Amino acid sequence: MVAIVGGVLNSEKEYSKILKEKNKKCKILNTMCPNFKNKIENCEACIVFTNAVSHKMLISCSSICKKNNIKLIHLTSKGTTNLKKTLDSLL
pLDDT of residue 79: 80
Can you give the pTM of this predicted structure?
Answer: 0.88
* Cα separation, 28 vs 54, whole angstroms: 15
Region 2-90: CATH code: 3.40.50.2300
- Please provide the size of the chain in residues: 91
Question: What are the boundaries of each domain within the chain?
Answer: 2-90
Give residue-wise pLDDT tens across range 15-41: 999 999 989 899 999 888 889 899 999
Q: At what angle do helices 80-90 and 12-21 cross, to 10 degrees?
A: 30
**CB neighbourhood size of 57 (10 A):** 19
DSSP, collapsed to helix, strand or coil, labels residue 6 as coil
Strands across the sheet containing 45-49: 26-29, 2-5, 45-49, 71-75
pLDDT of residue 66: 95
Give residue-wise pLDDT tens across range 43-90: 999 999 988 888 999 999 999 999 999 999 999 887 888 888 888 887
pLDDT of residue 46: 94
Measured in Å, how far apart are the chain's first and last C-alpha atoms? 11
pLDDT of residue 87: 87
